Amino acid sequence: MEDINNWIVYHSVISEDEGADLTLEALNSFYDALPYEPALVNTVADRSLKKKLNPEGFTVNAGTEENLIQLILQLRRLEGLQEGLRWYDLKRYGIEFSHNRAGNVPIVLTKDDPRRAIQLPPDVINAGMKANPRN
């Protein structure tokens, strides 16, 4: 928690209030009260900071462990804004999401969608390696 509080101090004007640090109790209280955001968001009320985590190869325990990861993912989202880093967190934790495009049907990327695979460069494919599958 000390590292998270230091990040907040150095990245937020709001942290200069009374100097109250974020505690595990406050973190758990906040995230436990939030609903999970669905992969397909239909209304503003569906939006939430809390995303359903579906990691492959490891598990995330509900409670403090998941709440800390949710907070770190949100802080990373703020830190890496407009840098393209969020994609790696979405892949790592199997977070399902949708692209809502005006006038078009939303595209939902589920945790097992082959479009999540990073495409290999053409020179690697031309050298004989099979390309990652697409839909």
Position 76 confidence tier, pLDDT thresholds 50, 70, 90: very high
pTM above 0.85, yes or no: no
- Mean pLDDT along residues 112-123: 90
CB of 41 within 8 A of CB of 98?
yes
Per-residue pLDDT tens over the stretch 8-45: 888 777 656 555 688 999 999 999 999 999 999 888 89
Based on DSSP, count helices (H) and strands (E) in the chain, helices before strands. Answer: 5, 2
Q: 74-106: b or e for each residue (b if 16 or more CB lie within 10 Å)? A: eeeeeeeeeeeebeebbbebbbbbbeeeeeeee
Residue 69 reports pLDDT greater than 70: yes
